[in-house]
Amino acid sequence: MTALAAVGNTVERHLLRLFIDHAGISPLEYLRSIRLERARQSLEYGATVTRAAEVAGFSSGLQLRRAWQRQWGGSPRDAARAAAPAPDSVKSPRVASPRFGS
């Protein structure tokens, strides 16, 4: 925030007030929401909770789980399971068997 305030030729406190006025949340809450969304997307693509936490910039899977619980309730693992296709909906391709003796 200090560097941004300097670039904007203002003080940090004023920049913080402007950010909250425009975004409705603090910069830290905004950053957390971006990280959680990135983790959610990683989980939808099959990443483990640990890998999703790493990709999203959380220091550990535990930190991701705590932030997830505060934001949405439940756990990232439950969300990943819900996003995964059901076993019945995944069908293997049919392979024609060769005909012998015809």
Q: Model confidence over 46-88: pLDDT tens digits?
A: 899 999 999 999 999 999 999 999 999 888 888 778 776 655 5
8 Å CB contact between 96 and 85: no
Q: What is the CATH number of domain 2-84?
A: 1.10.10.60
- Is 40's pLDDT higher than 90? yes
Report the first-to-last Cα separation within the chain, whole angstroms.
Answer: 78
Average pLDDT score over the chain: 84
